[in-house]
Amino acid sequence: MGDEVKKGLLGIVVDETTISQVMPDINSLTYRGYAVQDLCEKCSFEEVAYLVLNGDLPKKKELKKFKKQLEENRNITINLREIVKHMPKRSHPMDVTRTIVSVLGLEDKETNNNSPEANMKKAIRIFAKAPTAIAAFFRARKGKNVIPPKKNLSFSENFFYMCFGKVPNKEIVKAFDVSLILYAEHSFNVSTFTARTITSSLSDIHGAITGAIASLKGPLHGGANEEVMHMMNKIKKPENALKWINKTLDKKEVVMGFGHRVYKKGDSRVPTMEKYFKKVSKVKSDKKFIKIYEIVKKVMIDRKNIHPNVDYPTGPTYHLMGFDTDFFTPIFVISRITGWSAHIMEQHAANKLIRPLSKYSGPDHRKVMLLNQR
Ligand SMILES: CC(C)(COP(=O)(O)OP(=O)(O)OC[C@H]1O[C@@H](n2cnc3c(N)ncnc32)[C@H](O)[C@@H]1OP(=O)(O)O)[C@@H](O)C(=O)NCCC(=O)NCCS
């Protein structure tokens, strides 16, 4: 075995997957063989969640059953609701989200059962309950009453309802649904690899998702959608955008929402999300962010040939929808729970302990001196 260090596992293929395929050369992303753009236009988020978890698009009856399962599992315990209500108000919602999944693990009677059947049931419970608890924190930290889930609403409608007490118009709900579809799955990214690594020691799904959430929080991964909004707020108005981006690049600073480890010619999810960002801007009669968006994007491509990633359009879209900036990444979580769960189940089905090697570069062998001799 060679001694060459592949820092960041750059270019290393560590396993096979049947869940999604990223083809950077042709800007393509497929879930279980279906192009993500096609899924966004023809399916609801629930259909895509079913696809990611089960491997195929649902038939009518299957979708009905899946929706019912989600509806039946949406309620959280009084215990969890009280924990969320008593979390420090200054907590970052991603830390709260991480804790929520951890508590769900404490409450779940099947936590230590890693059979495929139990894992699927647990995945559905986490997927159904986490949004309820996240929405509870969204309101509780503002001193507002917690709103329980409502029957006969879609996944996206219900999330809006639990956060704001009402469901917005269809175009806004569709844009949110599309963002969730685009966030659902993305092969061996950092958080998914984290989930698979945790699983590879035969640990449980709640632990693996808790670890994945910690990994997603970082600004080089999911946390980028929040950073994009901070950047837009710093720029303030379109007239400032050109000067700001040129100055930032002159200082050789990283611009959030741009670049990708795999896609070097553009992220396949961006055109679809951009389209829905524009629709939401129109509905909200707010063109400020779209103008800033276009100016920064053009300079990044012209000067650096670095393209936006999906977090660039989702950030301002979620802002226009009314979500607090630090809730953008928890929204990413509620969708990615599906992808993580599918990977955790895939890892369990053909497990091999993930344990890479390292090249030692510390001191040579040394003799231990007694305390009074050092
Ligand atoms: C995502 C990311 C970590 C990928 O990193 P990577 O594959 O390791 O690529 P590198 O960081 O080595 O980038 C290669 C070069 O492009 C530059 N670059 C990459 N992304 C950049 C960005 N967003 N802004 C400015 N320069 C960037 C790097 O500075 C580096 O330049 P150099 O060769 O002169 O040092 C990186 O693009 C980044 O930090 N982006 C911003 C965070 C973000 O949006 N994350 C969400 C990802 S979906």
Query: How does the average pLDDT of the chain come out, rounded?
Result: 96
Q: Which CATH number does the domain housing residue 203 bear? A: 1.10.580.10
Domain identity same for 147 and 262 = no
> What does pTM read for this prediction?
0.95
Domain identity same for 235 and 194 = no
Q: H-helix or E-strand containing 28?
A: strand 28-31
Residue whose CA lies nearest to ligand 1 atom number 34: 252
Domain identity same for 186 and 159 = yes
How many whole angstroms separate alpha carbon 167 and alpha carbon 39? Answer: 23
In a domain, 164, yes or no: yes
Domain identity same for 19 and 151 = yes
Domain identity same for 174 and 38 = yes
Q: Which residues contact 271 (CB under 8 A, 6 or more apart)?
A: 37
Tell whether ligand 1 has an atom less than 6 A from the beta carbon of residue 50: no
Domain identity same for 140 and 210 = yes
Domain identity same for 238 and 143 = no
How many whole angstroms separate alpha carbon 121 and alpha carbon 142? Answer: 33
For residue 133, pLDDT beyond 80 = yes
Which mutation among 189, 226, 247, 261 tests ligand 1's pocket best, with the greatest number of atoms within 8 A of CB? Answer: 261
Domain identity same for 296 and 340 = no
Domains in the chain, number: 2
- The model's pLDDT over 91-128, given as tens digits with 9 standing for 90+, comes to 999 999 999 999 999 999 999 999 999 999 999 999 99
How many whole angstroms separate alpha carbon 144 and alpha carbon 85? Answer: 10
Ligand 1 atom index nearest CA of 249: 25
Query: How much distance in Å is there from the Cα of 336 to the middle of ligand 1?
Result: 22
Domain identity same for 52 and 141 = yes
pLDDT of residue 1: 56
In a domain, 160, yes or no: yes
Query: How much distance in Å is there from the Cα of 69 to the middle of ligand 1?
Result: 41
- The model's pLDDT over 296-347, given as tens digits with 9 standing for 90+, comes to 999 999 999 999 999 999 999 999 999 999 999 999 999 999 999 999 999 9
Which mutation among 191, 254, 264, 310 tests ligand 1's pocket best, with the greatest number of atoms within 8 A of CB? Answer: 254
Count of C-beta atoms within a 10 Å radius of residue 202: 11
Tell whether ligand 1 has an atom less than 6 A from the beta carbon of residue 259: yes
Tell whether ligand 1 has an atom less than 6 A from the beta carbon of residue 9: no
In terms of Cα–Cα distance, which of 237, 230, 222 is closest to 255? 230
Let me know: does 211 contact 236? Beta carbons within 8 Å. Answer: no
In a domain, 175, yes or no: yes
* Positions marked active-site: 260, 311
Domain identity same for 48 and 163 = yes
In a domain, 47, yes or no: yes
CA atoms within 13 A on the CB side of 12: 10
Domain identity same for 228 and 284 = yes
- The model's pLDDT over 46-66, given as tens digits with 9 standing for 90+, comes to 999 999 999 999 999 999 999
Range of the domain at 240: 224-321
Domain identity same for 143 and 70 = yes
In a domain, 372, yes or no: no
